[in-house]
Amino acid sequence: MLKYLLYPLSIIYYLLSELNRFLTKSKKLNKPVISIGNVTWGGSGKTPMTIEVAKYILSLGKMPVILSRGYARKNSSRRNVVVRDTNKILADISVSGDEPYMMAKLVNCPIIVGADRVRSVSFAKQFNPDVFILDDGFQHWKLKRDLDIVCVNSLNPFGNGMTIPSGILRERKSALKRAKLIALTNCNLVNEDKLNGIKKEIVRITRELPLETSCKNYEIINMSDNSKIEDIEDFRRNNRFAAVSAIGSPDNFINTVSGLGLKIKEEIIFSDHHKYVTKNISDVINNLADNELIITTAKDAVKINEVTNKEMQKKIYVLNVSISFDSGKEKFEKEIKSLLGINNEK
């Protein structure tokens, strides 16, 4: 099988990754650093968790600054860019990247992108941050972390158990021991037996129970006028949908749409960080019947919005989701409060 043919490359990848880890000098900041990451390639719920962490810190009266690599930016330079400050978005999607731009629309804190996140810290000083949040930072060694939160996708937690390119693991599963908190994501999309099996595997590795989260908080928004669907039953009953996405784990999106009872006409899946062109969407719209619509993700919406007009957008609906805690919320909040020096008795 192909995975076994690629296994020697996986060994090389693992050894180079470990060598990079041990040779990289880490910088300790004078403010706490929270990393949100994973041990796999592809979607695991890092971005919703990053947003949740930032919103919670803001609710405590503290100012976070999100530092992101900014994958798939059209501007291929390594320059650092302030995507938003404390009040407004300052950069467009072409220099921000899709995920940072989406976060900038959903959370009111500074966001800075750049390949050199140590340099991004110097940009952040103007905002007097209380804490830094590293988006996709579990394998980023140049900054020391005070709290590592690792997301594990319940739908596909570890793939075939092999590292890239034989499998989807960036590191061996034992790397989970470095994390303070493990967050199982999409728990509502798997059955209880599978969920319990994943939890047992994580406990075997870390000796700690993971947090459990689901994408249960949702709203459906029309792209043309930002109107919210209030009667989901009527919307569900009278329409069918072309589900369009270009994300790391499209199964998460498809399962969430199906879980809401929306009838999927077809699944149109592009590669992660796909750069949409108008024809991508016009071709889909031209094949829709009167009672058929497009539904897409918030991450895709910021890119689709750039290549469509208002008339096209009348047929496009955006599924916004945020995470909710099924278990472990108190532990999550306690760790962040402790890191920020906030009395947990309050």
How far are the Cα atoms of 15, 17, 303 from residue 20, in angstroms, in the given order? Answer: 9, 5, 34
Structure tokens at 267: 């699944």
| DSSP one-letter code for 225 | T
Spelled out in words, what is the top-level CATH class assigned to the domain 21-214+324-339?
Answer: alpha beta
Domain definitions of the chain by residue range: 21-214+324-339, 217-321
Return the number of other C-beta atoms located less than 10 Å from residue 241's C-beta: 22
DSSP string across 58-76 = HHTT--EEEEE--TT-SS-
DSSP string across 73-126 = -SS-S---EEEE-SSSB-S-HHHH-HHHHHHHHH--S-EEE-S-HHHHHHHHGG
Q: Are strands 131-135 and 147-153 parallel, antiparallel or unpaired?
A: unpaired
Confirm if 284 and 242 have CB atoms less than 8 A apart.
yes
* Assigned architecture for domain 217-321: 3-Layer(aba) Sandwich (3.40)
Per-residue pLDDT tens listing for the chain (346 residues): 677 777 778 888 888 898 888 889 899 999 999 999 999 987 788 999 999 999 999 999 999 999 998 876 766 566 899 999 999 999 988 889 889 999 999 999 999 999 889 999 999 999 999 999 999 999 999 999 999 999 999 999 999 999 999 999 999 999 999 999 999 999 988 999 999 999 999 999 999 999 999 987 789 999 999 999 999 899 999 999 999 999 988 888 998 899 889 999 999 999 988 999 999 999 999 999 999 999 999 999 999 999 999 999 999 999 998 889 999 999 999 999 999 999 865 4
Cα–Cα dist 14/9, whole Å: 9
Cα–Cα dist 311/315, whole Å: 8
**Which pLDDT score is estimated for 343?**
80
Select from 107, 14, 93, 16 the least CA-distant residue to 56. 107
Structure tokens at 39: 């041990």
**Which pLDDT score is estimated for 9?**
86
Structure tokens at 253: 């999106």
Same fold, 21-214+324-339 and 217-321: yes
Neighbour-count burial of 242, counting CB atoms closer than 10 A to its CB (0-12 exposed, 13-18 middle, 19+ buried): buried
